[in-house]
Amino acid sequence: MPHIEFGSLGYGAANLGNLYRELSDELAQEILETSWESGIRYFDTAPHYGLGLSERRLGAFLRTKPRDEYVLSTKVGRLIRPNPEGAGTLDLDADFAVPADQKRVWDFTADGIRRSLDESLERLGLDRVDVLFLHDPERNDLASGLNEAVPALAALRDEGLVSAVGVGSMSTEALLGSARTGAIDLLMVAGRYTLAEQPVVPEVLDACTENGVGIANASVFNSGLLATNEPGVDSRYEYGGVPADTLARVRAIAAVAREHGVELPAAALQYTLRDPLVRTVVVGSSKPAQLRENVERMRAPIPEAFWEQLLAEELVRR
């Protein structure tokens, strides 16, 4: 893949689209200023996030920064179109607290992919993005995504309109199929390569190695399960309850972390960066203090003996 300096930690801007609850423009600006001041230079967004609100807010911020000092990715696959029947309601079915007077329309055609990029650039107010991901192909039509949308993305890269292309997904099947196309540069892996579980091992990682595909790793806290030192039965996992076997394994990992004086969230952030395939870890935040804390955790020293013990006790997969 082309050489792109992402940095170890990137900011995932779903919260800027009012994920779960409304975020004021002032707080959104403060979060972005905090990320920049903390040294973050990779920002990821999508039309899906708040029906374009995330792109508009992120673009307004990045237009104040030198274009060659940051890396920006957005996504394609969903076009944003008028939805008059949604007037007066909120987009809560998709988990975003924004007016539902627009809607998402799946479009994996070459024309739809190009229009999606053009419309994202208009919302961002920028002339280019660096990386373009196909977003959640398994939620629409995975075969069409791999056979039609991925070649369309590759064509945009080959024309020089973007530097790199990839696929973002929570589905191991979609990630594996995407890596095996040989046409992409990156996978954005969401929640499938974490300290709690590694279903991408070995097939997806092997396919990445064979096809020169890097990984931008997202959702490394498994929706909250790994975001605390003491995971409990009320912890959030994949936006719901945590399975008993997963909780037992994470509690065992937490016990090893305590033994070595390691914070579990710090280990969760740093774990996959030990893999040379992983180019960056992407985290979201709805609070500046939370973002600062994750920056500090990413820099926290973790003894090699901690990782060795996790492997020896088969709490993570090699």
**Given this model, what pLDDT does residue 239 score?**
72
Q: Which of 49, 70, 193, 237 is catalytic?
A: 49
**Given this model, what pLDDT does residue 1 score?**
65
Angle CA 13–224–217, to nearest 5: 50
**Given this model, what pLDDT does residue 234 score?**
85
DSSP for 135-179 reads E-GGGT-HHHIIIIIHHHHHHHHHTTS-SEEEEEES-HHHHHHHH
Q: What 3-state DSSP class applies to 213?
A: coil
Q: What 3-state DSSP class applies to 222?
A: helix
Cα distance from N-terminal residue to C-terminal residue, the chain: 24
> How many Cβ atoms are within 10 Å of 21's Cβ, its own excluded?
10
**Given this model, what pLDDT does residue 316 score?**
96
**Given this model, what pLDDT does residue 235 score?**
86
> How many Cβ atoms are within 10 Å of 114's Cβ, its own excluded?
17
What is the block-wise mean pLDDT of the chain (318 residues), using blocks of 10 residues? 90 97 97 98 98 98 98 98 97 97 98 98 98 98 98 98 98 98 98 96 98 98 94 84 92 98 98 98 97 97 98 93
| Catalytic (active site) residue 49 | yes
The kind and range of the H/E element at 51 are none
- pTM of the prediction? 0.97
**Given this model, what pLDDT does residue 236 score?**
83
- Nearest residue to 25 via CA among 1, 70, 61, 64: 61
Second CATH level (architecture) for the domain 9-221+266-312: Alpha-Beta Barrel (3.20)
